[in-house]
Structure 1
Amino acid sequence: MQTHHQTSQSLNALLAPFTKQFQNGLLRQGTSSVPLLTTMSQYYMLQPSKRLRPCLILLMCQATNGLGSDWETKSTSLWVGCSAETDALENILPEQLSLAQVFEILHVASLLHDDVIDNAETRRGSPSVPALFGNRRAILAGDFLLGRAMRLVGTLGSPEVMSLVAEVFCTLVEGELLQAGYTDLSLGSAVVDPVHLPRVAQDPAEDEIITSLWQEYLQKTYMKTASLFAKAMECAVILGGATAEDPLREAASSFGACLGMAFQIVDDLLDFEGDPKKLGKPANADMRLGLVTAPVFFALQEDESIRPRVLRCFEGPGDVEATADCVRNTQALSRTRKLAESYAMKAREALNIVPDSAAKEALLKVTFAILARQA
């Protein structure tokens, strides 16, 4: 199995013909007539990044373009930038490249706002935008990028894609409110794959409070992370000609949702077993923010003594350290990894209807690399 680093290298090779156009377009969208706003908007764009979301969009386009019912209409504006001699595949549309920029801009905007909400001093080992420029300015930079994202999505020629991107905006905000403790939100169908809840929820089942917290955790994970992956993949195939009747739409969305769930669950796992230097944040950062994640829920199933700490969101003296010890002394971490693996497997299954290709193989490798990542 390839390591996460090896997979990143293979993705970079596959997408090399589009990298320069993508980065240049991204920086243009972060440019303002106000120099300070440009500096803040481009700050995270210029830092080293795996660019996971845009990579996934472009790979999904390469893997599925030509399969949608309306491909012939869409393909009149094929991107010219790949030669048959390269390892990269052809048939990425300029609108799809712009879509990759839209979702990266949205991601960066969410980082700016998250760092304000979390009072984050650093991000990936470097000073955060709020730490450098202040909370008010960081919020304005995030708002500016949201506006730029919506302006760019308006050029894609698809009202349906515009609606889905706007829906992602709303879902991210709702997820943030859910994380902040507003449990009276009317979430409707926001829960992703609720069949996972009875598989992982605590025993005994009559502990309704913990069951409810599990439910909220899965909802929040989908809304704050997986929804972005899901809508990005769905928008990619829509721009490639997939109509509402094409099973490709549901497959792409399911792939993104399940991959996003796996990604965030691994992130929650690394909060306990990752290297703080590689992660660029202190250990047990989630608990210090009062957040209950999968490792803690699984530990609670084996050691009910941590229940009071969970219910008071680790606000008591020594709560974080004692709970972290409990997590490491139970099977919580291995069970959390199995949960992430189950979502990654479902992501791979969603691609069964996609024909074999180099791009599909790369998408499958990503599902394994996410499980193996260390940062």
Structure 2
Amino acid sequence: MNLDEFKGVWVFIEQRDRGVAPVSLELLGAGRALADKRGVELAGILIGHNVKDLTNTLFQYGADKVYVYDAPIFSQYRTEPYMHAVVEACRKYKPEIMLYGATSTGKDLASAVATDLATGLTADCTMLDVDPETGLLEASRPAFGGNIMATILCKKHRPQMATVRPKVMKALAPEPGRRGQVVEEQITLTEDEVRTKVLEVVRETTKRPRLDEADIIVAGGKGLKDAEGFQLCYKLAEVLGASVGASRDAVEAGWIDHHHQIGQTGVTVTPKIYFAIGISGAIQHVVGMQNSELIIAINNDPNAPIFQTCHYGIVGDAFEVVPALIAAFKEALYREEVQHA
């Protein structure tokens, strides 16, 4: 393989409900920095049906070029047609780096593409850099239970690929009016050749926003003792209109479902306010919430590591502190309602 033939940084653009997924905009910001460091162009690869109008958004967020596969065969995500398109484009245009969001779609697609192209893939990255001379992508991720950061290189194969956790990169401020080049591609695969069909799409509904989109999160850990004690999180969240999260210990104890888990093996979040209740602050949890704008920790152990991460810490019994907070918030909200009545 002649590595010198490969040029450019690509981002797989994930789209849902005719809108660009936030993680893809975040990756365009990260990709812009890598491309500028290498002196190459940044491109997006956009796959879907009736999605061409999304290209202007991608240019505003940093892309120089967008490769578009727009056809009915892509109306719902399926591994086979999407993989076929990405592999075909990579073989034709030879990007040196390709980034995907570490979402269910991004992880599925990236692993299939890596297998077909016989190249390397670093999963769940939290940091990216590139050597401007060699072009080696330095993809870093937590390893050994989050106790170290491992930087992984793909020296002999291209493209170098990585999936990146949502919310760990920053999207660029949009530049209205910025333009780029649109390259429309045609796929050679037909519907009859695709082995899977989407029969029905069932959307999950919830009263509260998803964890990775929430402005306020109330998270609980093993310090809440049992499932009944964990209900304190729901009570505080109800008052604040917050979403409920948890540490791995709380999830493994069966107090809450796994999709509420925050941390290295769960969701990465960046809310405006994060309450850590009865959470010790192990690095595995901290890596998933340390970029929150305001972190408030409640723990009865003054030496708990969480106090090294939080902005405000309350040393005390959560079963006394949280009810007092609930009462104070209810009173404050009531006063606000009276003032605006």
Task: Provide TM-score, normalisation by structure 2.
Answer: 0.28
Higher share in helix: 1
User: Relative contact order (C-alpha < 8 Å, sep 6+): which is higher?
Assistant: 1
Which is strand-richer, 1 or 2?
2
Larger Rg: 2
TM-score normalized by the length of structure 1: 0.26
